[in-house]
Amino acid sequence: MVGDDEWRPNVLFLWGFTPAPVQVRPPAVVPLAIETGVTTPLSTDDAGAASSMPLRIVRSGNRTTLINELLLLTNTAYDPAASWGGARIGDPGPSGKGTDDRIELQIIAGGGLVVQHVVPDTPQDDLESGQVNFYRVPVAVPFTRGSMATDAVRLGIGGADLWLPAALYLFGVDSRRGRPASIIPLVHIDRWGPRRPRTQAATPSRSPCRRPPSPDPPRW
């Protein structure tokens, strides 16, 4: 860390991309490193803090890796009208709104419902304008990526709010809690919008999420 601020991260997760094997596919997502339950503050101006810390490499799971938990990351679109009288604060994006309505994630795998989860209230600014949020999602029945159809993941809203994500990422992990040994990319949407073929509509209402290709592309 550069500067005298003190930053206290809880989870640090790094992923990258490899070129797509064919032009019609987006780049493949490759998990690189992760740390969970981080307790060391980062600062250059505190005797009890560290100026840097290592991130341990994590394996990329495949079609047969058993998924026991999910990592959900959302980036709600920035709405200038919702921030200090319209001032440009944060990371401006497409005009959108946050929500206090219930957001529910469902996954079907192997012909059965394996995940049905409502995003909970947390100490974060949950699903508010311009906010990036991180959630650990429990899995009712462990499953594999190979058992999922292309429309297996659905995201819904239970209310009248118009929630507009700017981006959404979903990963499967092999552990139920703690630091995972393997991570499996499931959904990776850098720019949420109606022009994307075979993905969500501009706002979620039981909208299907497309899975990204993995380093060993699955047979569709």
- Measured between its terminal Cα atoms, the distance across the chain in Å is 43
The answer on pLDDT for 10 being more than 50 is yes
* Structural domains for the chain: 59-209 (2.60.60.20)
Neighbours of 87 (CB within 10 A): 8
The answer on pLDDT for 194 being more than 70 is no
pLDDT score, position 24: 57
Nearest to 171 by CA among 183, 181, 153: 183
Residue appearing with tokens 């009712």: 140
Nearest to 157 by CA among 81, 214, 101, 84: 101
Neighbours of 85 (CB within 10 A): 8
The mean pLDDT of the chain is 82
155 and 161 Cβ atoms separated by less than 8 Å: no
One-letter amino acid at 183 equals: I
The answer on pLDDT for 71 being more than 90 is yes
pLDDT band at 167 (very low <50, low <70, confident <90, very high): very high
97 - beta bridge partners?
163
The answer on pLDDT for 210 being more than 90 is no
**pLDDT tens digits, 74-103:** 999 987 776 544 444 444 444 457 999 999
pLDDT band at 168 (very low <50, low <70, confident <90, very high): very high
pLDDT score, position 218: 33
CA distance 80 to 92: 8
**pLDDT tens digits, 122-166:** 999 999 999 999 999 999 999 999 999 999 999 999 988 889 999
The answer on pLDDT for 206 being more than 60 is no
**Token duo for residue 206:** 């039981």
pLDDT score, position 68: 98
pLDDT score, position 192: 86
**Token duo for residue 19:** 């070129």
The three-state secondary structure class of 72 is strand
